[in-house]
Amino acid sequence: MSMTDPIADLLVRVRNALQAKHETVDIPMSRVKVEIVKILAAEGYVDGYSEVEAKPRNLIRVELKYVGQGDKAINGLERVSRPGRRIYCGKSEIPKVLNGLGVNILSTSRGIMTGRACRDAGLGGEILCQVW
């Protein structure tokens, strides 16, 4: 089975693990996925991550975050740009997620960044996903 959208796979694995109240979730590793998880950790949506060596390919182990009485820190994960329909935006068109409460993750010419960092740097790009 070939995976056509590895970023959607990452989001679905995290969403399912949160739903099942797991402590961690393992995701097949790629540079793009590591960058996305790094942003999730920096924005406080996950507790952290580590790279695990495994066969046939290395994994990213994401430590999921819960607040209060076991409430999920991530209430929503949504893939925006898909392989069948790419969504790009200029620096002035970057949408706000939940009036600034959520985060956009964009792929730019300078790497993967949050929507806020893109606005500050004056960059546009492909909107990969939204988290809130």
Domain map (residue ranges) of the chain: 6-72, 77-131
pTM of the model: 0.93
CATH level 3 topology of 6-72: Ribosomal Protein S8; Chain: A, domain 1 (3.30.1370)
The fold of the 77-131 domain, in CATH, is Dna Ligase; domain 1 (3.30.1490)
3-class secondary structure, 61: strand
* Per-residue model confidence as pLDDT tens digits over 67-96: 988 899 999 999 999 999 999 999 999 999
Q: Judge whether residue 1 has pLDDT over 50.
A: no
Distance CA 56, CA 103 (A): 33
Determine how β-strand 71-72 pairs with β-strand 88-89: unpaired
